Structures are given as structure tokens and as C-alpha cells.
A and B are shown apart, each in its own frame.
Chain A
Amino acid sequence: MNINKSNPLLLHPLNKWMKKKKWSWFPHQIETFHYVRTGSDVVVFAPTGAGKTLTGFINPIDDLIKLKKFKGLHTLYISPLKSLANDIVRNLEKPIKELDLNISFQVRTGDTTPYKKQKQKQKPPNILITTPESLALLNSYENAKEFFHNLKYIIIDEIHTFLDNKRADLLSLNIERLQTFSTNLQRIGLSATLKNKQDAKKWLCRKKPKIVSYENSVLPKIKILESKERIPWSGHMATYSINEIYKEIMKSKLTIIFVNTRAQAEYMFKNLWLINKKKLKIAVHHGSLEKNLRLKVENNLSKGLVDCVVATSSLELGLDYGDVEKIIQVGAPKGINRLLQRVGRSNHNLNIPSKAILVPTNRFEFIEAKAAIEEIKKNKLDKIDLKEGSFDVVAQHIFATACAGQFNINDLYKEIIKAYPYKKLKLNDFKQLINLIQDGGYVLKNYDQFKRIFQLRENKNIYKLVNKRETRKYRMNVGTIIENPMLKIKLGTKTLGNIEEVFIQNLSQGDSFIFAGQVLEFQSMKNNLVQVKRSKSLISKIPSYSGGRMPLSTNLANSVRALLAKSNMWDLYPEQITQWLKRQKNISKIPKKDEYLVEQFPRKKNFYTVIYTFAGWHANQTLGFLLLRGFKEFNYKPLGFVANDYAIVLWSLREAKEIKTILNLGLLDKHLDNYLEETSIVKRLFRDNAIISCLIERRLPGMEKTGKQVLFSSDLIYTVLKKNEPDHILLKSSYEDAKKNMIDYDRLREILKKIDKKIILKKLTSISPLAVPIILEINRENLSKKETDEYILEDLENEILKEANVLSIN
């Protein structure tokens, strides 16, 4: 459309306010207004600072003013974070109050008081701002239909965060439910810039789908930290550059240092504190810290009361911290979208470029950082892969539906397959999920008298909840985010945050560790509280947090390969990197963009095979295991392997001569099941599946289960089920989840399909320069949990026997 001809927004109720602020409407706001007004579902892509939130509200506010004193709920706004929801309310308040518009709006999240929630249900506001979980809860009430039947708009904020996970599945099902309640409902999605905009459109839009896009012409200024120090071969802690990082902090008014893990955050914070001679105000922020501590840091950040915050992805989304001048990314960027999101945290002004410095913590990361900068210059983004919806979320949704009243399974199935992630859901799988909610869905029918939902005798298609008490259980278990078992840390009576139970189990009384930027001494564990005191110890552990390890994106990986092969660029790199690559070229080879370099060399009596796949950590980990199996078959007597984002190294007693024969698609087909079986991947996902599908409960009123107990019983259930009913729907669901999320199945498949023609095999007499980083990562055993347990027991027993001078048992 030609936006210059006429701007319909000049007649919009908010125009007066915009004028007063001396703001003008963005083209994408005009375009969105037009499309929505003419009945389209729209996804808007725009960078931060381009009035995205307002864009979502333009049509609802216009409509509400025209309708005059509309009673009841008109617009629903879905935010990915509770804190963002509160921020939205504050932003909406300004124009509505200043113009004295007759529009009511409220927030509803897990933090809203029961009293307020009750009042909202009796007298709903025109605009309700909420989260996917709160929406699911609202849909599970008996009067949900009346509550939503006049709903006109649903706005999904930061929709790019909702495209590829179980939360997205849950949200998609609940949007379809709203559409059933209110056929006039229109959908508006707000997103950061994406590569595959069409996918986001497919996910959300049904009516005359439209994409509105606004690209920022001002590119961020990103550079790599110029360090005089030696960049380490391996490692992830950036200790080498700490002084230079400190200098960068001093140069800017306000800096956010992003790191990739919570452990890195604590470590970086500790190291900065040790050299903090200028007494800069430095804070740390990550997801395990107590809410109050986090809020304090966020507050200080927005008021400009700190000089620097060390943060994980916990500060990636949402809130506008106007005064942040510089972003420092320590460690690999891993993906373009993620780096852009982080870089965008500085300077929320469209016309001024964001400033960022990348600090690679090892040599491969230097290449990765360089590649990321190139990609951003070319405006090339990562693709977000839409995934098929998970079964467990459907099960939870069935339970929620039953809580809202009796339902017809055919109608429910038809509604579910309208949701994009469930387009391909088979009727048979759906029925199994109905049975799962009914009585666990086992082949052995032992529970006929204990069903949770039952078929009506007069109509077998209609199911009903057995009693009201069950609704309470659903409400305690809603949602798709399952945390690892965590324990609260108490310093005196003050709660500092949550720490993984596994970490605490490895501590003894008196051990010290770093948390929330303080050195703490472990005193005791009582009633699931970890009591600590301050410590002056210099030796301390840093809690590790499992999960959340992001693999290198395919897009960035390709770019790293391309860059590595461009030898004419090398001279622009720091001397040490240039030398490293040149030596590699002389001794072995630098693989071309589409080649797979395989190096083999003897070292310390063993034979090493290094394969440079650049496939990301998940895929490489999987491939490593499969190769281990392959090596065993060829009798190479493999001893172990290590994988990182770029490569895999295996070592064996015999030389793997037939590596070219082993490395192909057959490897995946032959050994994958075995892999999933032997590692605890599926077992761990089974726990999430069992909780999300409400087979086991997270917690019950008056019977707080600790994380440990849930984990324990789900392991037992998994073992019993696997043995007796290997085709059970929850096992299938866990297996699918593993393929989708944990092992990068599709990515690995793609690589193995074409790898055999592109292998470059180099037989070397000793280790190559490119192989040094991964060889340095070899430090752990690669045994399954079962084997590890036996190994520990065996070893401990032997030690004790030796001590007691007893030769053997039995």
C-alpha cells in the first residue's frame, strides 16, 4: 500500500498523544493498522525501539473507543515474561491516562493475588495482559467460554521466543481454544527480525495472513576485543583478558557483560571484583538468584546506579535499560539472532548504532566471533526451526479441557489439529493421550475403578472429569517449564537463590563455593534449605548448572567454515591466530567450506581420530557415541571420545583404518536406539514428560515433594514401563523429544547423508594445530551412568580393601 497517500492513523485516538510527544507514526504501524482493520491476522517484525508494543495496541484502542464503553474482555496480550507483563502495563498506562481514555486494563500472572484474580473474573478489564500459563489456567475454568466470547484481539509479544518449544505448543492450543470461543478473534504477533518470517506467519495467522516488516538501516558496531595477551587454546573463562575487559568497563557509563552460563557469570564477577581497584559498582544477574536480588539489580540498572552488570540470558529479553552504552559478549556467540538480541540491549534508539565488544575465550571462538560479525554486516539471520508439537502438552491440554467441563473428543481433536504444531497429530495418538489422562493408558487394565475422566454411557464420545478435586491438581501442575531439582540457599535468614541439588550433594560441610557473587561456606542442609555462611576462603567451587547448553547455529557454523577457508583474510587476524591457521595449512589442511576434514595420528600409545563437522555440540555428542559403537564393531578398541561445537575426537587402541567406511548414514540408523537407551537422555526427558502430562505431580497441597523424590520415582516408572510396555505413548513422546531437542537428529542426518563423498582424510604423525583445542578438552570419562556407578563402587571398595589389607571378598 502507498503509505504516503493518506495516513489513517492521523485520526486515531492516540494521535493527539503522539503529537504532544513529538513522535510520528512508523510506516509499519500504519501498515499494521490497515491490515488488521481489514480483517487480517498479522505478524509484525521490527527491531527494539521501533514502537513494537504500541503497534500491537493500535487497533484494539481504536476499536474500543469506537465501541464506546465496551463491557468485558476485548483484547488479550500475551507476554513471555512476568516482568515484561508489568512493564507493558506501565507503558500502556501513559497514553491512556494522559488522554483520559475510557479503557480498563490489568495484568494477570502467577504473581497476581487470588483476590484480584477473582475480581478480574467477575468484572474483566477491556485489556488483559498475561502469560501463556495464566491463559491456560483461564481456559480451564468452567466459565471460560463466557469470559472470552467477546474477545476481539489476541496479541502475542516476542513471538519469536514462542516458535520452537513446548511453551509454544501450549500457547498454540490455547489460542485455538479462544478462536473456538470467539470466532471473530484476530491475531497479532510482534517479533524481532527473523530469517523465516513465513514460518512465524504460518504458526500464528489464519485469516488473510499478512507480514509487516520494518528493517533497521543502522547496523550495530561490533568488534572483537584487541588483546595483547595470548588467546588460550581451549577453555571458556576468558581469564586472560580480564584486565582489558575491566578497562572497557571503565570507558563506558554503563556496560552489560553477557556470558553463556551461570557458572561463567559467577566466575567473571569474582575475577572482576578481584581487580576492582577503582571501586566500580559491579553486579551479577542470573536466573538462579532470588527474585528480590534480581529485581534490585534490574532496578539499579534502569536507574543507572551501577557501572556494570554481569548477566546470562536472564537479561536478554524485554525491559528497556536506556542508559546501557556497551555490551560485552564473553564466549562464543553461538548464533546470530542471539548475539543481535544481546547487542540490542544497548542504546534503545533506532538512529544510534548499538555498540558491542566480543571476547572470544579460545581460538575457535575467535573465528566464530569474526564470522558472527560478518553475518551481521550482511544482515543474515539464523532460522528458527518450527517443530512438531509434543504429546505431553496435548495430554495436559486434555486435562485442562476436562476441568472446564465435559467435552466431545471429536470436537477437541478437530480444534487441536488447527494449531500449527499439531497439524499432523494422528487420531490414534490423540486417543492414546485421552487414555493417558483417563487412567495412565496402560495395556494392562488395572485401574478401571479409579479413572480421572470417564466416557458418558449415553455418548461414548463425551468425556467428563470424575470429580472437582482433580481441577485443583491440574492447576498445581500447569505449564511446560520443568526445573532441575533445586534447593534454596539461606545466608542467615536471607534467601540468596536456588542451587542445583546435584551440586550441593557433592559438597561436604566446610567446603566453600561462589554464589551471588559471594564466597560462601556450606554448613548444613535441613528441610531442603542449604544453610551457608560467609567465607574468606580463596579456594572455592563454582556451581555448575546442567542444561541450557546452546549448540552453535547451523547458519553461523556454515559461516565459520567459509571464513576458515578464506586464507586471504588470515593476515588481518591477530598474529597468534594467523600463525595457528598457517601451521595447520602446512602440517595438515584447512577444510574447504563443504569438506569434512578427518585427521588421524598416534599419540601416547593410542590412535586419535579427529572429525571436524562444525555440527554443534548436541549433534557432535551424538555422533561421537555412534562412532564409538562403530569403532567397537570394527574392533578398534575405542577408549573414549570428546565433542565440542566444532569437532569430535575419538581415541582407540587400534588405528581406525576404515573411518571412511564407518562414517555414513547407516551409522545413525544402526546405533541411535542404542544410544538413547544407554545414556540417560530419554530417561531425563521422560521425567519432564511425566510431569507435563500430569502422570506424576510436581507438588500437592500439603505434600511438598522435593525435586529429588520426583526424579527418583520417575526413574523407577521409566524402568518399569520400558520393560513392560515399550510402546507406551509417554515413551514415544520422550523419544520424539530427544530426537527434536537433545541430539539434533535432523542436523546430524543431513550431514551424514552427504559426508562420505566429502571426507578429506589426513594421516599425520602427530597432533595438528587445529586438533589441539579439542584434545585439551579430554578430561572426563565417557561412561554411562550405570557404568560410572559401578566404577565408583568398585574403586571405593578396592581402596577400602587395600586399606584393610584384605585381599578379596567371597
Chain B
Amino acid sequence: MFYQLINFGNEEFHAYPDKSLYWKRLNTLIVSDLHIGKSISYAKNKQFLPPYDTKEILNKIFVSLDKIKPSNLIIVGDLLHDVFSTLSLKDQDHKNLSQYMKNTDFIWIKGNHDENIQIEGFKNLTNYKIDKFLFTHIPIKTSLFQICGHYHPKVKISHRGKTIFKTCFVHNEKIFILPSFGILTGGLDIHSKQISDVLGKNNMSIYPVGQDKVYKL
């Protein structure tokens, strides 16, 4: 799998088409907005989405961990969709997770969806600081470089008479926003007010995610 090289805060990051980000120097894998159990949460409102999202998200994570073998895995919020989500985690899933946690430190940052949820054996933090970098679900006022999630960024690309929407990694000088790692999760245009309020309008570096490759615009 090809990755796209991204320089952010004078550090080398690798963006993968599976929507994970790898921090080379600290051998750390970063993902965001998994929204595990979104389907079960919709089911309580009688919208019966295929109940396979949890299985697929976990598989994706495990494939990535097997390949990269990072020392740390940082989840930048919204690991779970809501309090019902834990219902979709089977015993086997818990066992698998514990297995992976033997070799990799899991750092779970709270998101707006999962700030009040507990999973046995997991600790969740409001945010997490390493060197001059702050991992937080939603960016805050700080002089640190921030790596966040929350917005599920997508970019609208019009080229040669065609328009497409693509999930993307996006950052400005100080703030990096990850795409959603989830399966049934939607997205928000990076030129929407919510995102431009955070990143500003003009200094965005945009990396659309393609089939087997992350592009750079």
C-alpha cells in the first residue's frame, strides 16, 4: 500500500489510503472517528443498516496493526458511535483487542460521541500531549501543533467538466484533521463554514484518498 508523505510541524507523517496516519519518528499509528456500532445505534430508530460495520472497522484496524506494527495506536475520538455501540462488540472482538494491546499501547481520546462511555480495560483521555503535539478530538486554543478528527473532511474536486467528492486528510500550519476511519460514516466539505472556521480558507494542504493511493492537491 502506497502512502503519501506529509510534513506537519517539521515531522514526517505517512497518510495511508485506509485513512490512517503514521508518525514515523515515534512509530505511532493514528486513526479517528471509527464510529463503531453506528448501525446498531440507527437500528434503535428502526433504520436497519447492515450490521457489519463493527466487524469491518476492527478488521481494517487489525490489518493495519499487523502490517505496521506500531508501538502506539492513538484514536483521536469517536471510537464508538454511542452507548449502544458496545452491544456490537462481541466477546471475540474483546479478546482480539486485548491480544493486540500486548504489543501496542492504545491511547483513546474522548470524542463528542463517546466521552461518557466506558469499555473494560480501556482508559480514555480528554487529550494527549507528546512533545509539541496535542492529540484532541476537536481543536482547542493552544500554541501546540494539533492532530484532530471530528469533521470527517471531504473535498469537492471539479476538473475537466467532472465533479467528484473525496474523503481527505487536510491540514494548515498548526492543525491537522484526519478523515473518518469508519465504514458507514458520511463527510463534510472542507470548504464548509465548520471546517474553514478551524483551518482558515486559504492555507489548507489537501490530500484526497483514492482507491489504493493518497493524492496531493
Instruction: Give the B-binding residues of A (Cβ under 8 A).
Output: 436, 439-442, 444, 446-447, 450, 452, 466, 470, 473, 502, 505-506, 508, 695-697, 709, 712-713, 716-717, 720-721, 723-725, 728, 786, 788-790, 792-797, 800, 809-810
Contact = CB atoms under 8 A, between A and B. Distances in A.
A442 B48 contact: yes
A450 B4 contact: no
A790 B51 contact: no
B211 A792 contact: no
B51 A713 contact: no
Nearest to B88: A446
A94 to B, nearest CB: 48
Nearest to A712: B186
B196 to A, nearest CB: 15
B148 to A, nearest CB: 23
A720 B56 contact: yes
A359 B43 CA distance: 55
Given A447-B48, A697-B47, A723-B52, 20 more contacts: A440-B49, A444-B51, A446-B43, A446-B51, A447-B51, A452-B46, A696-B49, A712-B187, A724-B52, A788-B164, A789-B164, A789-B211, A793-B157, A793-B210, A795-B160, A797-B215, A797-B216, A797-B217, A809-B5, A810-B3
B50 interface: yes
Contacts of B43: 439-440, 446-447, 450
A795 B208 CA distance: 13
A713 B46 contact: no
B51 A696 contact: no
Contact of B157 (A440, A502, A796): A796
Contacts, number: 116
B44 interface: yes
A720 B183 contact: yes
Contacts of A809: 4-5, 216
B183 A716 contact: yes
B34 to A, nearest CB: 14
B69 interface: no
A536 to B, nearest CB: 24
B162 A792 contact: yes
B136 interface: no
Contacts of B102: none
A790 B48 contact: no
Contacts of B216: 797, 800, 809
Contact of B186 (A713, A721, A794): A713
B159 interface: yes
Interface of B: 2-5, 39-40, 43-44, 46-53, 55-56, 87-88, 156-164, 166, 183-184, 186-187, 208, 210-211, 215-217
A596 B186 CA distance: 49
Contacts of B88: 446
Contacts of B166: 789, 793
The 4 A-B residue pairs with the shortest CB-CB distance, nearest first, are A440-B48, A446-B51, A724-B52, A450-B43
A698 to B, nearest CB: 12
Nearest to A709: B186
B48 A439 contact: yes
Given A790-B211, A793-B166, A442 B51 contact: yes
Nearest to A728: B50
Nearest to A436: B48
Nearest to A801: B216
Contact of A716 (B40, B184, B215): B184
B51 A506 contact: no
A792 B157 contact: yes
A478 B55 CA distance: 33
Nearest to A453: B46
B159 A696 contact: no
B49 A793 contact: no
Contacts of B159: 792, 795-796
Contacts of A723: 52, 56
A717 B184 contact: yes
B217 A796 contact: yes
B50 A792 contact: no
Contacts of A713: 49, 184, 186
A506 B48 contact: no
A717 B50 contact: yes
B162 A720 contact: no
B54 to A, nearest CB: 9
Contacts of A793: 157, 164, 166, 208, 210, 215
Contacts of A466: 46
B210 A473 contact: no
B213 to A, nearest CB: 8
A632 B136 CA distance: 51
Contacts of B183: 716, 720
A725 B211 CA distance: 22
B143 to A, nearest CB: 30
A457 B166 CA distance: 49
A795 B3 CA distance: 18
